[in-house]
């Protein structure tokens, strides 16, 4: 719960602005290198649509869009780490 005197915009705008500019620069690089068809870029674009929807729950919806929802374990890991977005099947 925030206090009545807390100004969320004052506290968070600069960080949000920096992140948004960083995303825009990333997308510029992606397009310059002809990689806009990558499934991870598509997942980011889908997440933008969720960010634009009014009402609470944006963070959870974006997290779910960018998370692997599969429940079956894979037979063997070929990399260490995650891709950051669910791979299309």
The domains of the chain are located at: 10-65
Q: Is the pLDDT score of 60 beyond 70?
A: yes
Q: Is the pLDDT score of 73 beyond 90?
A: no
**Confidence (pTM):** 0.77
Residues 6+ apart with CB under 8 A from 62: 47, 50, 51
**Residue 82 and residue 43 in contact, taking contact as beta carbons nearer than 8 Å:** no
**Residue 40 and residue 83 in contact, taking contact as beta carbons nearer than 8 Å:** yes
Neighbour-count burial of 52, counting CB atoms closer than 10 A to its CB (0-12 exposed, 13-18 middle, 19+ buried): exposed
Q: Is the pLDDT score of 14 beyond 70?
A: yes
Q: Is the pLDDT score of 51 beyond 80?
A: yes
CA quadruple 49, 53, 69, 79: dihedral positive or negative? positive
């Amino acid at each position: 719960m925030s206090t009545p005197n807390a100004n969320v915009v004052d506290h968070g705008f600069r960080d949000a602005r920096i992140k948004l500019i960083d995303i825009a620069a990333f997308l510029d690089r992606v397009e310059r290198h002809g990689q806009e068809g990558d499934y991870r870029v598509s997942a980011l674009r889908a997440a933008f649509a969720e960010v634009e929807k009014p009402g609470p729950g944006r963070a959870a919806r974006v997290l779910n869009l960018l998370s692997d929802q599969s429940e079956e374990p894979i037979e063997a890991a070929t990399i260490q780490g995650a891709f950051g977005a669910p791979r299309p099947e």
